[in-house]
Amino acid sequence: MNPAMLLDSVWVLLTRLVMRAANFAVFVLLARSLSVGEFGFYGYVMSTALVLAIAFDLGLRQSGAWVIGQEPAADPAVTTHLIALWLVLGTAGVLACWLMLEAGGYVAGYGPLALVAALNVAPMLCLRTGQGVFLGRGDLGRLNRSELISRAVVLAGTIGLWALGRLDLAAAIWILLAAHVAAAAYLLWQVSGAVRPATLFQPALIARMFRYGGELWVAILLLILLGRIGFWIVSWRLGEDALGIYFGSQRLGEILVEVATAVGIVIFSYGVRATDIKASARDAIRIARLVTALMALVALVALALARPLLGLVLGADYAAEPGAFRLVMLGALANSYTTMLYPCLSAQGLARWGIAAFAVGSAVAAVAFWLLTPLFGLAGAGLAYALAQGAAVAVIVTAYRRRFGFGVAEIVLPQGEDVRALREIGKRAMGRLRRVPGREP
C-alpha cells in the first residue's frame, strides 16, 4: 500500500472530520430551531444549489487538475481560464437555481429569501471549479483550508445567532451565503498569483479541458443526482414536512460519505500524477476497502441505536421514522465505497464507467422513489436510496474487474494486508507521539 497516499488520506480525513463536526453542530441547531417544513426548504436549497454547482462546473474542476498535473507549465493559463469561465457560468447557475425554486413554489412561499438562496450557487461554483488548481498541484493543504473556512463561518454564525435567540430560516440562509462567499474569496486570493490575463483567450486549451472533463462532468452530475433525486420526489409526493424528516435522516447518514469524499480527493490527486495505472488502482482498492470496513462498524452501531440516535440528535419528530434511517445508512455505506473507488477511474480517463454506474443508479433511484414512496412512505424512500446506491456499486466493481483484472473478493472484502496497514499506522503514530518534546521517558 502506498504509504504517502495513506498518510495524505489520513490528513484529509482528519480535516473532513473537523468539517463534519462543524456541519453536525449546525445541522442539529437548525433541526431544533426551525420547523420541520422550514428544515425541508433548507434541505431543498442545499440540494439544488449543490447539483447546479456541479452541473455548471462542466467538468472543469477535474480537467483543470488533470492538465496542471500533467503539464505544470500550463498552470497560469489553466487558472486564468478557470476563473474567466466561472464568471460566466456562475451567473447562469444563479438564474437556473432561481427558476428551480420558482418551479417548486418556493419563490411564492419565501419571497426575496429564495433569491438569497439562489445566490449561493455562484460562490459554490467558484470553490468547486477553482479547487481544480489545488488538486492539479497536489496542494491539499490549501484545498483543505478552502473547505474549512466555509464550515467555520457557518458554525460561528449559527452558534452566535442561536445563543442570541435569533436563529431562524432567513438567518440560516444568509449565513450559508456568507460562508460560501468567504471560502470563494480565500480561493481567489490564493490562486490570484497565477492569473495571467494575457493568456486569454485559448480556444484549444478550453476545448481540451472540455473534452477531458466532458465524460467526467456527466458522471459526477449523475453521481450527485443519484443522491438528490430523492429529495425532489419526496417533496413532490409527500410534502415539505416529510422532506424535512427525510433530509434529516439522509444528512445524518451521509456523515459516512463525507469521510469517503475526503479519501476520494486524495486518490484523485494521486491518480492524475500516476504513471503506473494498475498500481494506482490497487492502492485505491486497498484504501477504500480499509476505510469501508471501519465505517461499517460505525454503521452497525447507528443501525442498532437508530430511534434514540434520531431523537437525541434531531428531536422527537425525526425519531418517528427509524426504519427509513436504517435503510439510508446502508445506502450511505454503499455510496461511500463508490465515492472512494470512482476517482481513480476518472483520474485515468475512465470516466465513462462512472457514467454507466451513476446512470444506472439514478435510473433505479428515479423509478424506486416514484413507486415506493407512495406505497411505504419514508421507509420506501430509504429503501429506494439503498437500492440505487447498491446498483452503482455493482457497476463500479465490474469496472475494476474488467479493466484491471482484480477479483470481486479482492475489491470488496477486507484482506490480511488491511490489518497490517492499520498496525503500521498505529506504530508510526506512537513513534511520533514518543518524539513529542516533554514525552521522552
3-state per-residue secondary structure call for 38-72? HHHHHHHHHHHHHHHHHHCCCCHHHHHHHHHHHCH
Is the pLDDT confidence value at 405 over 90? no
Residue 439: per-residue pLDDT: 47
How far, in Å, CA of 66 to CA of 348, rounded? 9
Is the pLDDT confidence value at 188 over 80? yes
Residue 209: per-residue pLDDT: 83
Residue 362: per-residue pLDDT: 92
Is the pLDDT confidence value at 18 over 70? no
C-alpha cell at 5: 497516499
Q: Positive or negative CA dihedral for 413, 417, 418, 420?
A: positive
Is the pLDDT confidence value at 141 over 70? yes
pLDDT in tens, 30-42: 888 888 888 888 8
Q: Mean of the pLDDT values across residues 54-71? A: 85
Is the pLDDT confidence value at 425 over 70? no
Is the pLDDT confidence value at 229 over 80? yes
C-alpha cell at 123: 460562490
pLDDT in tens, 235-260: 888 887 888 888 888 878 777 777 77
What is the separation of C-alpha 318 from the centre of its chain, rounded to a whole number of angstroms? 23
Would you say 39 and 248 are in contact if contact means Cβ atoms under 8 Å apart? yes
CA trace torsion 263, 266, 272, 273 (10° rounding): -140
- Comparing C-alpha atoms, which of 26, 66, 293, 254 is closest to residue 150? 26
- Mean pLDDT check: name the lowest of 199-203, 323-327, 375-379, 436-440: 436-440
Greater pLDDT, 10 or 77: 77
Q: Mean of the pLDDT values across residues 97-112? A: 84
C-beta atoms surrounding 99 within 10 Å: 12
Is the pLDDT confidence value at 276 over 70? no
Domain layout of the chain by residue ranges: 3-428
How far, in Å, CA of 256 to CA of 296, rounded? 9
How far, in Å, CA of 384 to CA of 261, rounded? 22
Average per-residue pLDDT in the chain? 82
Is the pLDDT confidence value at 423 over 80? no
Task: Tell me how many helices (H) and strands (E) the chain has.
Answer: 19, 0
How far, in Å, CA of 341 to CA of 328, rounded? 20
Question: Whole-model pTM above 0.85?
Answer: no
How far, in Å, CA of 187 to CA of 193, rounded? 11
Residue 440: per-residue pLDDT: 47
- Mean pLDDT check: name the lowest of 5-9, 120-124, 350-354: 5-9
Greater pLDDT, 372 or 109: 372
Q: Mean of the pLDDT values across residues 411-433? A: 65
Residue 418: per-residue pLDDT: 63
C-beta atoms surrounding 58 within 10 Å: 20
How far, in Å, CA of 59 to CA of 214, rounded? 6
Residue type at 135 in one-letter notation: L
Is the pLDDT confidence value at 412 over 80? no
C-alpha cell at 297: 462498524
Residue 441: per-residue pLDDT: 44
Is the pLDDT confidence value at 19 over 90? no
Would you say 392 and 361 are in contact if contact means Cβ atoms under 8 Å apart? yes
Is the pLDDT confidence value at 47 over 90? no
